[in-house]
Amino acid sequence: MNVSFEGDLIRPLGLVTLYFGYAEFEVDALLDALIGVGLAVDRPTNASLGQKLAAVRDVLSRQQIAEAAELIVIVDEVRPLIDLRNTLVHSSILAGGRVRPSDKARSDMTVTPEQLTRLADAIFTWKERLSATRQLRLMPALQRMDHNGP
């Protein structure tokens, strides 16, 4: 994305929120697909994105196929993005991009519109990788297992 927000933090923060919503939708689609092929998924109601990803990781770690391991790698890659998003949305963002986390154990930091835009792009790209791997690699492999055995 090559958009300049000229110091405006609100719009890129909105993109972060929007794209994380898309990512969570994709994780929900993955969980639904795993359930759809008969895998036992411990899916708590009203789970956070992190809890949903833990459920995905748990069920995939029991599958003895390369495609499951491939998707686990993708799932594990998103943790730093979620941590940064959580820090941002549970903080006060002040003038000049100063971020004061609500968790007093964390130090203040500074964020720019460009950093927020990069975070939004990163989560969008991650969501696309997750979706492609789910649809093109994992689900066909799981469906073959269902019909042909392990």
Question: Any idea where the domains of the chain sit in the sequence?
Answer: 10-77+115-148
Instruction: Say whether pLDDT at 108 is over 90.
Output: yes
**Which pLDDT score, from 0 to 100, does residue 45 have?**
78
Q: Give the Å distances, CA to CA, from 37 to 12, 33, 53, 144.
A: 38, 6, 18, 10
What is the average pLDDT across 37-56? 91
Q: What is the pLDDT of residue 44?
A: 72
pLDDT at 6: 53
Would you place residue 95 in the very low, low, confident or very high pLDDT band (cuts 50, 70, 90)? confident
Most confident range, picked from 15-19, 39-43, 94-98? 15-19
Q: What's the pTM value of the predicted model, to 2 decimals?
A: 0.89
| pLDDT computed for residue 1 by the predictor | 47
* 3 pLDDT above the threshold of 70: no
> What is the pLDDT of the chain when averaged over all its residues?
91
DSSP string, 65-99: SHHHHHHHHHHHHTHHHHHHHHHHHTEEE-GGGEE
Q: Quickly state the pLDDT bin for 2 (edges 50, 70, 90).
A: very low
Q: Is residue 103 very low, low, confident or very high in pLDDT (cuts 50, 70, 90)? A: confident
Is the dihedral angle over the CA atoms 35, 38, 39, 45 positive or is it negative? Answer: positive
Mean pLDDT (whole number) for 51-59: 96
Phi then psi dihedrals of residue 34, to 5 deg: -65, -45
Q: For the chain, give the percent of residues with pLDDT over 90.
A: 77
